[in-house]
């Protein structure tokens, strides 16, 4: 059996209250990347409302502060070859449907999965974390465009709900985030979903998984839910 070489850092968000872009995650990124790669390949496809070059520059400035160069996949004439040659991959947030749509259009899902399972570091935030699961069905986003399918990278055997919140607006009559995830897991009883609060992250190294940050995460299974504490053993999530 092939040895598990997965290395993923999955951030719920690019910001948290009172911080600048990716500021809260700099130490997570520094420890995770650990100078094993110096040039990071960035996928900006999730950003529907911003020029890719503007998005790349914002990301580049932040990673330069911790010693990494970032290049944009959209500048490559052969995206598949760029993935095959990449030292590490960074996938930004935005609209999950658009991101997955572009990955299908460019036929990148299989090659990304192949490289990550072989040990290429993968960093994602928001939509970029959502696509690490089996599908994007627990995204919060509106389907501004339909991807070929909802199946995504399947690098982890559970769903992520980024930006998870318990907040309820005064007078709001719609379902809460928890109710939506309860509905999903009841309708799909073999699926596990993890609500990842802003400022939190998951670090996955082969069969080891850690919840990083100051906040709990909420785990949803069919008919049940519970809070996960930072530092709590989470191997069960990778075994599901």
The predicted pLDDT at position 78 comes to 97
Instruction: Specify the pTM.
Output: 0.95
Give the whole-angstrom CA distance, residue 147 versus residue 63: 30
Residue 129 known to be catalytic = no
**Could you tell me the CA-to-CA distances from 87 to 10, 13, 213 in Å, in that order?**
17, 23, 26
Catalytic residue among 13, 24, 141, 200: 141
Q: Is the pLDDT of residue 2 over 50?
A: no
Q: Which CATH number fits domain 7-239: 3.40.720.10, 3.90.1150.10, 3.40.50.880, 3.30.420.10?
A: 3.40.50.880
190-219 pLDDT per residue, tens: 999 999 999 999 999 988 999 999 999 999
Q: To which residue do tokens 């059996």 refer?
A: 1
Identify whether 141 is a catalytic site residue. Answer: yes
Find the catalytic residue in 12, 126, 152, 200. 126
Q: 57 Cβ partners below 8 Å, 6+ apart?
A: none
Task: Give the pLDDT mean for 54-83.
Answer: 96
How sure is the predictor about 1, in pLDDT bands with cuts at 50, 70 and 90?
Answer: very low
Answer yes or no: is pLDDT of 240 > 70: no
* 208 in active site: no
Model confidence pLDDT, tens digit, residues 90-149: 999 999 999 999 999 999 999 999 999 999 999 999 999 999 999 999 999 999 999 999
Assess whether pLDDT exceeds 70 at residue 177.
yes
- Which residues face 208 on adjacent strands? 205
Per the prediction, the chain carries an average pLDDT of: 93
Band of pLDDT at residue 3, cut at 50, 70 and 90: low
């Amino acid at each position: 059996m092939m040895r598990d070489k997965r290395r993923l850092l999955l951030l719920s968000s690019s910001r948290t209250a009172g911080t600048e872009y990716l500021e809260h995650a700099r130490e997570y990124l520094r420890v995770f990347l650990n100078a094993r790669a110096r040039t990071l390949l960035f996928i900006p496809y999730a950003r529907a409302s911003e020029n890719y070059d503007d998005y790349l520059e914002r990301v580049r400035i932040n990673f330069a502060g911790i010693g990494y160069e970032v290049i944009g996949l959209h500048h490559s004439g052969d995206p598949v070859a760029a993935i095959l040659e990449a030292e590490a991959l960074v996938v930004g947030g935005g609209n999950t449907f658009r991101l997955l749509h572009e990955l299908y259009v460019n036929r990148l899902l299989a090659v990304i999965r192949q490289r990550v399972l072989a040990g290429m570091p993968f960093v994602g935030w928001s939509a970029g974390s959502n696509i690490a699961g089996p599908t994007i069905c627990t995204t919060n986003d509106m389907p501004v465009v339909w991807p070929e399918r909802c199946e995504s990278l399947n690098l982890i055997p559970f769903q992520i709900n980024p930006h998870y919140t318990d907040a309820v607006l005064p007078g709001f009559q719609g379902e809460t985030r928890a109710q939506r995830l309860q509905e999903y897991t009841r309708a799909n009883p073999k699926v596990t979903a993890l609500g990842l609060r802003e400022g939190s992250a998951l670090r996955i190294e082969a069969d080891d998984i850690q919840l990083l940050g100051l906040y709990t995460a909420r785990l949803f299974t069919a008919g049940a839910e519970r809070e996960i504490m930072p530092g709590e053993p989470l191997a069960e999530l990778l075994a599901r």
